[in-house]
Amino acid sequence: MSDATDAAGTAGESSTTGARAASDARAPGAVARLDATGLPLLAARAVLGVTFVVLGARKIGDPVQFLKLIREYALVPDDLPWLLNGMAVALPWLEVWAGALLLLGVFVRGAGATMLLLLGVFTTAILLRALDIHAAGGQAFCDIAFDCGCGSGVEEVCGKLRENAGLLLLTAVPLLSRSRRFCLARR
């Protein structure tokens, strides 16, 4: 009884493994082959890296303006000025740093995760602020426009949220890609 059951189990496992292997050889294999070319990662690195470097550099150029803008989100209590000031001087450099690392292809996953974190926090803050404005003024949501402190000036909130959603999705590429082609660091 026991031997028969084991035999049946082994046959079942063998059958499952065979099916999985066949499946792996189709869809995931195509993605893996595309990934292996390094081109999806290269494109994602270029878009994310240039975006972060350019927008971060603009903020570095005017730390006072960035300080005023991030204060409007009321993310930090007023009695913690060192935290607000620290965010104003450090976040833009973190953006530029993460963007530069991604462009160079060094610490690709770490830079991608950093971008995911920054984009997640910024996008949530923008959404909450827009909802506040919408609730206070009764303005149509997509008509709301403000300078979000993103380095791109006054923008319509729906466009900004769409842009950030796209960038968020794009961070999946450096996080998940196994390719290191066109990267300075191969590990």
- What does the binding site for other proteins look like in residue numbers (CB under 8 A)? 60, 63-64, 67, 71, 78, 81-82, 85-86, 88-98, 101, 107, 109-111, 113-114, 117, 175
Nearer to other proteins, 42 or 60 (CB): 60
Least distance from other proteins to the Cβ atom of residue 95, Å:
8
Six token digits for residue 98: 């993460």
Nearer to other proteins, 18 or 81 (CB): 81
Q: Which secondary-structure segment (H or E) carries 15?
A: helix 2-25
Least distance from other proteins to the Cβ atom of residue 49, Å:
13
Least distance from other proteins to the Cβ atom of residue 111, Å:
6
What b/e string do you get for 21-40 counting C-beta neighbours within 10 Å, with b at 16 or more?
eeeeeeeeeeeeeebeebeb
Name beta bridge partners: 155: 146
Nearer to other proteins, 13 or 132 (CB): 132
Least distance from other proteins to the Cβ atom of residue 23, Å:
25
Name beta bridge partners: 154: 147
Nearer to other proteins, 93 or 182 (CB): 93
Name beta bridge partners: 145: 156
Q: Is residue 125 classed as helix, strand or coil in its secondary structure?
A: helix
